[in-house]
Chain A
Amino acid sequence: MSRRSKPRPVFFNLTQIQIPVGALTSITHRVTGIVLALGIPFGFYALHLSLASAQSYERLTQMANTGLFKAALILFIWALSHHLLAGVRHLLMDIGVGSHLAAARRSAWSVNVGGFLMALLAAGVVL
Chain B
Amino acid sequence: MQRLSAVFMLGFIVFVLVHFLIDPPHSYEAWRGWVGSTGVSVAAVLFVVALLSHAWVGLRDVTLDYVAPLAARITTLSLIAAALLAVGAWAVRILLLGRG
Contacts and interface: CB of A to CB of B under 8 A. Distances in A.
A47 interface: yes
Interface in B24-45: 28-29, 31-32, 35
B28 A54 contact: yes
A34 B61 CA distance: 11
A40 interface: yes
Nearest to B32: A51
A104 interface: no
A7 interface: no
Contacts of B87: 40-41, 44
Contacts of A37: 55, 58-59
B31 A47 contact: no
- Which of B13, B58, B95 has the most chain A CB atoms inside 10 A of its CB? B58
Q: In which size bucket is the chain A interface?
A: 20 to 34
Contacts, number: 52
B36 to A, nearest CB: 8
Interface of chain A: mostly helix, strand, loop or mixed = helix
Contacts of A97: none
Interface of A: 30, 33-34, 36-37, 40-41, 44, 47-48, 50-52, 54, 57-58, 84, 87-88, 91, 94
B6 A87 contact: yes
Nearest to A47: B94
A88 B10 CA distance: 9
Given A37-B55, A44-B87, A47-B91, A84 B32 contact: no
B10 A51 contact: no
A48 B6 contact: no
B55 A44 contact: no
A39 B7 CA distance: 20
B55 A40 contact: yes
B51 interface: yes
